[in-house]
Amino acid sequence: MTHQVHIVGGGLAGSEAAWQLARRGVHVRLSEMRGTGERSPAHQTDALAELVCSNSFRSDDDEKNAVGLLHHEMRQLDSLIMTAAAKAQVPAGSALAVDRDVFSAEVEAALAAQPTLEIVRERIDTLPQTGLTIVATGPLTAASLAESIGAATGADSLAFFDAIAPIVYHDSIDMDVCWMASRWDKGETKDYINCPMDKEQYLAFHAGLLAGEKTAFKEWEADTPYFNGCMPIEVMAERGVETLRFGPMKPVGLDNPRTGRWPYAVVQLRQDNKLGTIWNMVGFQTKLKHAEQVRLFRTIPGLENAEFARLGGLHRNTFLNSPVLLDREFRLKTAPHVRFAGQITGCEGYVESAAVGLLAGLMTAAEITAQTWSSPPRTTALGALHAHITGDAEAESYQPMNVNFGLFPPLHEVKKKQRKEAYTARAKADLGEWMASTRA
């Protein structure tokens, strides 16, 4: 197949960009390294759009939450990622969580059914010198391609570490100790398994996190910062003995039915597949060595006999200094036939990565048809994310960012308690007008 656009990388961003182009009749070649016998340090399968960390797309509340609003906007634009997530959804309270295997299968099947899309399992080592290209290789870009990108940009990539949480088999959890509940049970189903700790157990666990043997850094990685939204639990523990009790181990709003009281601390697990056979330890991203994880996590009440479908891990993520290197259409200023999409641009999170892929697809489609590209309004979640990546952020301190209302133009005239609803109402109205004017 002769292609009009070459997409490098079959993760969430590359898959979404390919979908947006192919459904508009554009001929696309989607190149994915996995399937050639090679994988990144974090991937475990060859499936397109594999979810390597959590199985959650975070809050699905589109009235008071920025990422929920982003879900809404992507659905309005026929996002493949959001359609697949709906088909693969598993219970998670107000969050959108998925069975990761079903999700990937839905994405791949939808792409394979597109007549103008060719999926090729191949490794791309250098940036193409000609032809419209979207690089969506994610935060774990292979070394050879990363070197080619560095040569083209004339600047070093920035980097940070990302940590993965363990997954536990449900039938190894002691439900005589744990219980099912969502925080405060405010109209939600009881979607989380809760493992209670008393003060003595918590303090011993905290000490174990500090003393546990961790993955060693390579010399060239020593000064690489973590991303705050995916902080290893032992790094949080180093910030103070109470830090975890106000973070992922917060007991507030969780009544233990056996005592009628909140525990001193709690470990929560969230369903990770439709069958309910595997559960993710919420907020327990870690760089502890595997043997140390098994030993320490089995001291958690209810997990004494835990069997792990996956242990936690650590990997190095790279991203571009996009405000400096990319133009307003995600094109490399030194090679404008090349666009970037997804986490390599410096967005953070599954949904944000897919959203940037969606925008890159729309931008490329407009370029092919010689239409003037009009960005979504800054007042929308898509527009706020686009603006952050392409110039609103301080270039000298540019860091990965989840979508949040802090990226939106402020509404100081609205009372604080009503501001989130006002942001979302404005965004929905403005997105509708933008879609009508651009026929997106």
Domain parsing of the chain, residue ranges: 5-157+320-438, 164-315
Q: Residue 14 annotated as binding? A: yes
Q: Residue 11 annotated as binding? A: yes
Q: Residue 283 annotated as binding? A: no
Query: In order along the chain (440 residues), what is the average pLDDT of each group of 10 residues?
Result: 92 98 98 86 86 92 95 98 98 95 97 98 95 93 88 77 87 96 74 96 98 80 72 94 96 94 97 88 94 97 95 83 94 96 93 98 97 95 94 74 90 91 97 91
pLDDT, residue 221, reads 66
376-430 pLDDT, tens per residue?
999 999 999 999 999 876 667 787 889 999 899 999 899 988 999 999 999 999 9
> How many Å apart are CA 224 and CA 311, to the nearest integer?
23
pTM metric for this prediction: 0.84
Q: Residue 117 annotated as binding? A: no
Q: What is the mean pLDDT of the chain?
A: 92
Q: What fold is seen in the domain 5-157+320-438?
A: FAD/NAD(P)-binding domain (3.50.50)
Options 2.40.30.260, 1.25.40.340, 1.25.40.10, 2.60.40.10; CATH of 164-315: 2.40.30.260
Q: Residue 342 annotated as binding? A: no
Same CATH fold, 164-315 and 5-157+320-438?
Answer: no
> How many Å apart are CA 196 and CA 265, to the nearest integer?
6
Report CA 135 to chain centroid distance, whole Å: 17
